Structure 1
Amino acid sequence: MLRDLLNDFLAPCDIQINGSRPHDLQVVDSRFYKEVLKRGSLGLGESFMQGWWVSNDIEELLYRLIQANLSDKFKRKPTLFWYYLKSRLFNLQNKKRSIDVALKHYNIGNELYQYMLGKTMMYSCAYWKDAKTLEEAQERKLDLICKKLDLSAGQTVLDIGCGWGGFAKFASENYGVTVTGISIAAEQIEFAKTWCHKLPVEFRLQDYRDLDEKFDRIVSIGMFEHVGYKNYRIFMQTVHNCLKSNGLFLLHCIGGNEASTATDPWIHKYIFPNGLIPSPRQLTAAMEPYFTLEDWHNFGPDYELTLNAWQENFKNYWHCIKNSYDDLFYRMWLYYLNVSAASFKARHNNVWQLVLSKKGNIARYFSVR
């Protein structure tokens, strides 16, 4: 009976249970049916982690599920009601709670990210125009950002959410700027300080809300997804206060097509606690009092390519790091990379680069692609 019910759910996606096509779902343990029907996307992800189902093309399967918006059918279930209500009642990304994502996701071993991300150590969407490898695409992205910011030697740059220092290293080496990077992830800061110790860069373990100094340029790459909608205005106000009158701010982030107050329950529990992808309306409402929008660039499909390259690295180098993790982590990470790639393939998620200036202070801005 449960199998028949689930088959009805999957029919619009052209997915068959125990079918013969690569994207079909192969059930290994019958507990899978109850878990998915009761808990939706959370149950789907957890049952994969447990090995209760497999597929020869996980990304395609998840892409079809996302395209059919099946997750919307589970949002009203009593088991998920409190999760979505909390996101409306509380500031889940305040200073105390914001550290959760650093502990859960970023402070879990730099070696994992070194093998997966490659030489640039950039944990954000690469720019694959005229690029054939992950390293080339990430360097194309970094150079694109520097050109959009019109960087020149001697300028001071603030990097909010600096990660492992990839942008700071590239910008200081290639454009002669001095970079200050901040992050709330201690392992990132430790790595960045060692990696860039001979360069004119500074890295701080610091929350963006504690900033109080001026910079010629400000950049934030793949960090805004951790800010939360209740803090969007505070973030923009902080950037405005720290940006010199003739400065430019570039925001690189994942963007959604519709406004939301909470992320997918599985992503929240296992990957990015309290993360949230902004919508165009949420972004523009937050920045409207402070900035002029100079440019808005979307290259979301490039993230599918980036995630697939990360997955290839992760699989190829798993033998080098597996003693630090377990099989449950391996399946969790595979699911994360595949469901993320599927969301960009479905155009459910986008990648945006916004260039902003203080109102009335830039005579003319020329977009760069």
Structure 2
Amino acid sequence: MELSKQSGKASLSGRSSLQDYLRELLEKADITLGGDRPWDMQLNTPGVAERIFTGGSLGLGESYMDGDWEVQSLDEFIHRVLRARLARQVRPTRVLLHYLKARLLNRQTVSRAREVGERHYDLGNEFYGAMLDARMTYTCGYWKNASNLDEAQEAKLDLICRKLQLGPGMRVLDIGCGWGSFMAYAAEHYGVECVGITISRQQAEYARRKYPDLPLEFRLQDYREVDETFDRIVSIGMFEHVGDKNYRTYMEVAQRCLRDGGLFLLHTIGSNHRSHGSDPWIDKYIFPNGELPSVGQIGDAVDDLFVVEDLHNFGPDYDRTLMAWYRNFEEAWPRFAEELGERFFRMWRFYLLSCAGAFRARDLQLWQWVLSKGGTQDVYPRVT
């Protein structure tokens, strides 16, 4: 374990306990152990500090799942921790293996790609239907002129259609199509035909049943297996599962499948720095083998393949989206409590609210990249 401070490395010798050190760190984020504000941390059992300092975010999340500590406003707690950059002062050796594996191994091969579909997206359509909007859109909404989740998600779908300059008769590929919300919206409002690929069997089956009368095709397929030509390509919230060892391959597939002069919109969560692997807790419990790209990593991946026409960041909107999902989840929980159990509830609560806090702290971003194959004839119009 290494504990560091701006003035250099500090030893724990001379401190009465790890809990005292935890108290000192949290005070830098205006968080009080045992305080009475919504973001103050309450310890329910001994040993929480030890789990945090030996396991980092994994120890923090697992001890929360076990009920070892509590906080009324978990999203604000995480926001304050990240804004104060406390994670930089806790570097546990326990999670080094996680990052070494991500650095050295390709954890997003074709054979492993379906793991996240089976473990996360196949939790059940009823579960996600209770948490998401009416269209089942599991990505960031666009809240510029929206007052509720349904409006924000429909605004996001329309924003993407306008950025892609969709028109009747176009053939569109949706890489990571989810439950088909974008494809259905684009077909209904812009007259296009769509092919969607997903690694979740439940998503594909749901979408086929829901949209039998629209010109949509849903495939259970890995992106690397696609070799057809499309007028437009879209990928909304799937790139986070690709991994840095596959970014270039992903872009080569998109470039190969896009007609000359066509547009490709990439909607992805992004990181402020290059990284290898995801947060250890998120990787273990929520999105196995996930990885968040940086601007530079995406730039490297598109080099000599695409012209970057536009880059739009509306990361703060993900905070509002996640909080809306959490309210829906909490309200619907009695329907799932017996089947999933209390530990799942605390796990999912930690997932949604910690991510909301991370976007609020601007530790995470949400980008929409518009890429063209060969460049547009005129200046690409700014669409908001």
> Which TM bucket (shorter chain)?
over 0.9
* AA in 1 matched with 2:52: V
Q: In structure 2, the residue corresponding to 1:234 is in which secondary structure? A: helix
- Unaligned 5+ runs, structure 2: 1-16
In 2, the alpha carbon distance for the partners of 1:250 and 1:217 equals 8
Query: What pairs up with 1:124-135 in 2 under 5 angstroms?
Result: 124-135=139-150
Structure-1 residue corresponding to 2:370: 355
Q: In structure 2, the residue corresponding to 1:317 is in which secondary structure? A: helix
Q: In structure 2, the residue corresponding to 1:352 is in which secondary structure? A: strand
Kindly indicate whether the alpha-carbon contact (under 8 Å) linking 2:224 and 2:250 is maintained by their aligned counterparts in 1: yes
Structure-2 residue corresponding to 1:231: 246
Query: What pairs up with 1:3-18 in 2 under 5 angstroms?
Result: 3-18=19-34
Equivalent of residue 63 in structure 1, options 79, 84, 95:
79
Cα shift at 1:8: 2.1
In 2, the alpha carbon distance for the partners of 1:40 and 1:360 equals 45
In 1, the alpha carbon distance for the partners of 2:335 and 2:254 equals 40
Query: What pairs up with 1:44-123 in 2 under 5 angstroms?
Result: 44-75=60-91, 77-123=92-138
In 2, the alpha carbon distance for the partners of 1:127 and 1:73 equals 34
Structure-2 residue corresponding to 1:213: 228
In 1, the alpha carbon distance for the partners of 2:31 and 2:198 equals 42
Cα shift at 1:228: 0.3
Per-residue CA distance 1:164-191 (angstroms, 9 max, x = gap): 1111111111111101000011111111
* AA in 1 matched with 2:82: I
In 2, the alpha carbon distance for the partners of 1:224 and 1:73 equals 30
* Number of equivalent positions: 368
Structure-1 residue corresponding to 2:200: 185
Per-residue CA distance 1:50-76 (angstroms, 9 max, x = gap): 11111111111111111122223334x
| TM-score under structure 1 length normalisation | 0.98
Equivalent of residue 196 in structure 1, options 208, 211, 215:
211
Query: What pairs up with 1:268-279 in 2 under 5 angstroms?
Result: 268-279=283-294
In 1, the alpha carbon distance for the partners of 2:280 and 2:90 equals 11
Structure-2 residue corresponding to 1:304: 319
- Does residue 287 of the first structure (1) align with residue 302 of the second (2)? yes
Q: In structure 2, the residue corresponding to 1:107 is in which secondary structure? A: helix
Cα shift at 1:225: 0.3
Kindly indicate whether the alpha-carbon contact (under 8 Å) linking 1:145 and 1:250 is maintained by their aligned counterparts in 2: yes
Kindly indicate whether the alpha-carbon contact (under 8 Å) linking 2:54 and 2:93 is maintained by their aligned counterparts in 1: no
Kindly indicate whether the alpha-carbon contact (under 8 Å) linking 2:322 and 2:356 is maintained by their aligned counterparts in 1: yes
* AA in 2 matched with 1:232: Y
| TM-score under structure 2 length normalisation | 0.94
In 2, the alpha carbon distance for the partners of 1:113 and 1:89 equals 34
Q: In structure 2, the residue corresponding to 1:229 is in which secondary structure? A: coil
* Greater displacement, 143-152 / 10-19: 10-19
In 2, the alpha carbon distance for the partners of 1:298 and 1:69 equals 22
- Unaligned 5+ runs, structure 1: none
* AA in 2 matched with 1:213: E
Per-residue CA distance 1:265-285 (angstroms, 9 max, x = gap): 100100011111100000001
